[in-house]
Structure 1
Amino acid sequence: MQKSLVVAALAALFLAGCEDETPEVTERIRAIKTYTVSQHASGRSRKFPGAVEATDTSSLSFEVSGNVTKVLVDAGDKVVAGQELAELDAEPYRLDVQSGEADLGSARAGFNEKSLELERQKALFAKGWISQAALDQAVAAFETAKNDVDIAQSKLSRLRRDLGKTVMRAPFDGVIATRSVDPFVEVNRGQALFEIFAEGALQIALSIPETVIEQINLGLPAAVNLSSFGACECTAVVTEIGSSAETANAFPVKATLLNPPTSVRPGMTAEVEFLLGIEDTASNFLIPIDAVAAGSQSGQPINLSSYVFVFDAANSTVQKRAIKIGPGTGSFVEVQEGVEPGDVIAAAGVSFLSDGLKVKLLSE
């Protein structure tokens, strides 16, 4: 009987404990991507088409004529400075060097002979056995022989240089862009056989209208869109501005690409976007267009027709703030009122946010 009462009491306690337990509800905190307000909207956007080209490029040719015996690279090959690219038949130049060496030997022998003759004539003149005219003749012969040696030495140096020029080498590290030669073909001095691009260093060639060129200056940054990559988020900076107009009164401008994707190649088309300066926008800022939500808040002026969510680090919440927006510049929009430098705003997914919502940063 007592045992039954104990069991019943324990069961009652167990059931009471179960009734007191309530399932714990875990609060879900949304992670947000943020953007820190800092970039001034200093002007209006203008876009210009262009083409990617290598910053350093060179057409390669032999400095001597001859018959090509070897072509060791093809278009698209990567090369290093000093690497052999092609060879000419060197035998004719080797024979010329041998002939030049013989001529130099003959000139030196003649010089030695005239040198000894001059010493002999000087000794005879000192004894009064020959005239001044005879001594002057010996001196002139010596000087002529000396000049013959100098000429022969210079000729031999040129012939040896020509022999060395029968091998074409890469002037710098790069990529062979084009090849216009095959073995067993006779080529002329200066005939372009290869086009080589310096690897990695790329720029965009642009034509800027005369109505805009005054607003373009060296060091001006630009956003770049490469048609082959879509929105690649590439950037460039102006490094060269032509001093005279070319076709259609447009000025040539070069903008160097900063850290482009490795697969970008010369010849690709590009669109370059400049933010041209206008003084009255110096106090405005650029923010990502995805950070802006449409609509208005009650009690706000009608021109503050959009808003952003500003992150409050003190309590990890976002505060809804009305802004006044201006014109867009690509993937950014100009904010004329409502944000300050240093504000951290939600940069995506703003339609899922609300005023005072507790959030965490995406990196947390």
Structure 2
Amino acid sequence: MPSQSRDEIEHVLSSAKSRRPWRLWALGAGALVIAVGAWVWLAPSRDSTGTSYITQAVTRGDLTVTVTATGTVQPTTEVEVSSELSGTLASIDVDYNDEVTVGEVLARLDDTKFKAQVANAEAALAAAKAQLAQAEATQKEATALYETQAELDRRGVSTHSTFVTYIAQRDRAVAAVQAAKASLTLAEANLALEKDDLEKSVIRSPINGVVLDRNVSAGQIVAASLSAPTLFTLAEDLRRMQLLVDIDEADIGQVAVGNDATFTVDAYSGRSFPATITQVRYAPETTDDVVTYKGVLAVDNADLLLRPGMTATATITVDEAKDALLIPNAALRYAPPQEVEDAGNGASGLIGLVIPSRPGSESGTASGKSVWVLRDGTPVEVAVTPGATNGKFTIVTAGDLAVGDQVITDQRDTSR
């Protein structure tokens, strides 16, 4: 082999030997980086002391459950007074806020036409009576002639055809009396109707109360042919009012007749008025796809501070408990997180073998029938039987809980 070729081969081998330590160093450095990464990756998951629990003590006290509803104050009885007759209003005898009694005159229609109609009916009645008297006289005459002719016919003095004529005259007289009596009855009925119209031309109050509204004035024409117009609105005894509220369908199951309530109105800020549920109606009312039910509350308005139509917000007491064991509602909603394997964070290949997937966690699901109590620094699940709630606290009717126990309402992770 030529000497030049031998020298070149020895040079190549010498260069390869000189680069081998650098490759070993690079491999060692990579292993060190992987080891550091694995420690950083797994270090937080090994910290089991980084959870801080938020707790609240179990207490004993009174609990009141309420339902809120809005509505308006209304009179217990409200009457709209109309006119059955058409005509011109001759006078208006009452005004707004006037107190009225049963039968008191509110307004009068022009009664000229009605008086004339009564007079006409009275004349017709007198004529019917005269016709009846005339028919009765004719009947007596025809009856007497019939009896005389019957005796003659029995003796054979007169012909039978003549007797038949007297029979017909008697029957016609009897029918005329019946017709006259019917005409008399009709005339009496017509007179009663005309007198009734004359009486109704005077519009009177049907109740004892107060005038809330007056929709007419003297000289105005009232047309009752199509629909009876409302002339006055009367309220009966404003010292006893009622509050009509709309109760949401989610709350209607808790409300019952006899529940006590309080309500406020904008006119008297800071003052509440007592009331009592007297009726919960079955008929639903739907507004913008929201279903409500009407509740009626009796209101004492002896001082006359409340007025019809006032908007009110009522707070209805649906349940009360004295000296009950209470827990916060947040305790019933708490459940410790559940650890799960987070497969999405795992690496693949050689790094995946060195750095395993670290575990993750997801929120637990509370059953609402148990709470977690912190005992000796450790959460312990305790089964409970919840009762009534006011939205903030819940009554515990059964369960291994005592006053002062620290129930967990939330937790914080302090490991990072």
Normalising by the smaller structure, the TM-score range is 0.5 to 0.7
How far apart in 2 are the matches of 1:282 and 1:144? Answer: 84
How far apart in 2 are the matches of 1:177 and 1:117? Answer: 63
Q: How big is each residue's C-alpha offset from its partner over 1:7-30, in whole Å with a ceiling of 9 and x where there is no partner?
A: xxxxxxxxxxxxxxxxxxxxxxxx
The answer to whether structure 1 residue 165 and structure 2 residue 197 are counterparts is no
Q: How big is each residue's C-alpha offset from its partner over 1:122-170, in whole Å with a ceiling of 9 and x where there is no partner?
A: 2222232444443322222111110111111011011111111111122
Matches within 5 A, 1:127-206: 127=148, 128=150, 129=163, 130-189=165-224, 190-199=228-237, 200-206=239-245
How far apart in 1 are the matches of 2:282 and 2:73? Answer: 21
Give the letter for the 1:216 counterpart.
V
How far 1:42 sits from its partner (Å)?
7.6
How far 1:269 sits from its partner (Å)?
1.2
How far apart in 2 are the matches of 1:148 and 1:191? Answer: 36
Residue 304 of structure 2, aligned match among 248, 253, 262: 262
Task: Give structure 2 stretches of 5+ with no counterpart.
Answer: 1-60, 151-162, 326-387, 397-416
Give the letter for the 2:201 counterpart.
T
1:293 maps to none
The answer to whether structure 1 residue 100 and structure 2 residue 135 are counterparts is no
Q: How big is each residue's C-alpha offset from its partner over 1:22-41, in whole Å with a ceiling of 9 and x where there is no partner?
A: xxxxxxxxxxxxxxxxxx96
* Contact 1:42–1:275 (8 Å) recurs in 2: no
Query: How many pairs are equivalent?
Result: 252
Query: What TM-score does the superposition give when structure 1 sets the normalisation length?
Result: 0.63
RMSD: 2.8
Matches within 5 A, 1:206-217: 206-217=245-256
* Contact 1:234–1:260 (8 Å) recurs in 2: no
Query: What TM-score does the superposition give when structure 2 sets the normalisation length?
Result: 0.56
* Contact 1:56–1:201 (8 Å) recurs in 2: no
Of 41-50 and 55-64, the range deviating more from structure 2? 41-50
Residue 70 of structure 1, aligned match among 88, 91, 105: 91
Assess, with a 3 A threshold, how the Cα gap between structure 1 residues 123 and 43 changes in structure 2: closer, same or farther. Answer: farther
How far apart in 1 are the matches of 2:302 and 2:273? Answer: 6
Give the letter for the 1:198 counterpart.
E
How far apart in 2 are the matches of 1:173 and 1:250? Answer: 33
Give the letter for the 2:232 counterpart.
F
- The structure with more radius of gyration: 2
How far apart in 2 are the matches of 1:223 and 1:104? Answer: 64
* Contact 1:68–1:182 (8 Å) recurs in 2: yes
1:47 maps to 68
How far apart in 1 are the matches of 2:174 and 2:188? Answer: 21
* Contact 2:73–2:309 (8 Å) recurs in 1: yes
How far apart in 1 are the matches of 2:212 and 2:199? Answer: 25
% same residue: 26
Of 251-260 and 91-100, the range deviating more from structure 2? 251-260
1:312 maps to none
Give the letter for the 1:263 counterpart.
L
Assess, with a 3 A threshold, how the Cα gap between structure 1 residues 55 and 125 changes in structure 2: closer, same or farther. Answer: same
Task: Give structure 1 stretches of 5+ with no counterpart.
Answer: 1-39, 286-325, 337-364
How far apart in 1 are the matches of 2:179 and 2:112? Answer: 32
Assess, with a 3 A threshold, how the Cα gap between structure 1 residues 139 and 243 changes in structure 2: closer, same or farther. Answer: farther
Matches within 5 A, 1:75-94: 75-94=96-115
* Contact 2:145–2:166 (8 Å) recurs in 1: no
How far 1:74 sits from its partner (Å)?
2.0
* Contact 2:67–2:251 (8 Å) recurs in 1: no
How far 1:241 sits from its partner (Å)?
2.4
How far apart in 2 are the matches of 1:198 and 1:77? Answer: 12
* Contact 1:42–1:276 (8 Å) recurs in 2: no
Q: Find the residue that maps to 2:293 and give its secondary structure.
A: strand
Moved >4 Å (runs of 4+): 40-43, 282-285, 326-329, 333-336
